[in-house]
Amino acid sequence: MTTETKTDPKTDPKTDSKTRTMRAISQDALGGPEVLKEVELPRPVPGTSEILVRVKAAGLNPTDWKHRAGGGFLGTPPFVLGWDVAGTVEAVGFGVTLFAPGDEVFGMLPYPHGVGAHAEYAVGPARAFVHRPAAVDTVQAGALPLAALTAWQALVDTAGVGAGDRVLVHAAAGGVGHLAVQIAKARGAYVIGTASAAKHDFLRGIGADEVIDYRETDFAAAVRDVDVVLDTVGGAYQLRSLATLRPGGLLVSILPFPVEGLAEEAARLGVRTAMMLVEADQAGMAAVADLAERGLLRAEIAGTFPLAGAAEAHALGDTGRTTGKLVLLAD
């Protein structure tokens, strides 16, 4: 990757550029992984109620490659992608009492416009973060936030999944899916997952009770009377999933664009739907940290890459074939 220098208005102009700059992965255009470049930017400064984190690990998610290519909320480049952050507090802004420099933390920058984790430093609201338990290593902490929060907010906050519930998770070996399987199991649910046959042993190993090969079996015909469907695919999967729900059951989609006719079909079948986007959430992060510390939640790491290898990581993510999470190491 080539290195170039840019300016960023969210910086302190009085600082020494030699000691107050950072490496970051930016892009000037929308497109494939090749648009990503390692650049030098001024280090951000924490504002009121914010903390500055020296990033050690930062996860990648499908939303990163979608935004890189132009299918997101961020508009016109340049921008630095990334929402998952794990690292060390470097400085705290005015009014912050929860953290101090030197604390090990992890969390999700506010989605979507709080982006900027794929850099040596990131700044965000203090209450988007929690302390990293000693039992959770840095790579795990960098992999978990966005995907685990998405699963938690869908299954727990939105659907209220509890003991004895039957839960269908689509793309169950994916970043959100495999964490959703574990969260649902930790809540006492019976979990059914869809995935290609090669990933079935992995899913059984993390607690799935049933696994369906979506290439060979029509899940809409094979599954019945589930309480909750977690849709991580979108499109026709939303409509087809309605038939698997019991009366009064709930489809939660993390791709919040309902397919045409979804509301009408749900009403006809007597089921419910909810479209959601993940939100920065300290209470949710605390729950994620607790599950991870107790060994009930662990991200499968599909690969780690140095910060300069971001384009390679994006190219792998673009294939849609990874199991679990990809992580950039900035330290």
- Residue 254 has a pLDDT of 97
* Total-model pTM: 0.93
How big is the chain, counted in residues?
331
Name the burial class of residue 58, with classes exposed (0-12), middle (13-18) and buried (19+) by CB atoms within 10 angstroms of its CB. buried
Of the CA atoms within 13 Å of residue 87, those in its CB half-sphere come to: 30
The conformational region for residue 18 under phi > 0 = left, psi -120 to 50 = alpha, else beta, is alpha
The residues with which 57 forms a beta bridge, in sequence order, are 86, 329
- Measuring CA to CA, how many Å separate 314 from each of 5, 119, 146, 209, 235? 22, 15, 17, 32, 23
* Fold classification of 3-144+299-329 (topology level): Quinone Oxidoreductase; Chain A, domain 1 (3.90.180)
- Residue 36 has a pLDDT of 98
Q: 290: how many CB neighbours lie within 10 A of its CB?
A: 14
- Residue 19 has a pLDDT of 63
Helical spans, DSSP H, in the chain: 62-69, 138-143, 145-152, 175-186, 200-205, 219-222, 236-242, 262-269, 282-293, 310-318
What letter would DSSP give residue 94? T
Per-domain residue ranges of the chain: 3-144+299-329, 147-275
pLDDT tens digits in sequence order for the chain, 331 residues long: 444 444 443 444 444 544 699 999 999 999 999 999 999 999 999 999 999 999 999 999 999 999 999 988 999 999 999 999 999 999 999 999 999 999 999 999 999 999 999 999 999 999 999 999 999 999 999 999 999 999 999 999 999 999 999 999 999 999 999 999 999 999 999 999 999 999 999 999 999 999 999 999 999 999 999 999 999 999 999 999 999 999 999 999 999 899 999 999 999 999 999 999 999 999 999 999 999 999 999 999 999 999 999 999 999 999 988 999 999 999 7
Q: CATH number for the 147-275 domain, one of 3.90.1720.10, 3.30.70.100, 3.40.50.1980, 3.40.50.720?
A: 3.40.50.720
Q: Does residue 101 contact residue 7 with C-beta atoms inside 8 Å?
A: no
- Residue 27 has a pLDDT of 97
Residue linked to tokens 């790491």: 301
CA–CA distance, 315 with 103 (Å, rounded to integer): 33
Of the CA atoms within 13 Å of residue 207, those in its CB half-sphere come to: 22
Q: Does residue 297 contact residue 183 with C-beta atoms inside 8 Å?
A: yes
- Residue 21 has a pLDDT of 96
If DSSP codes are grouped into helix, strand and coil, which group holds residue 203? helix
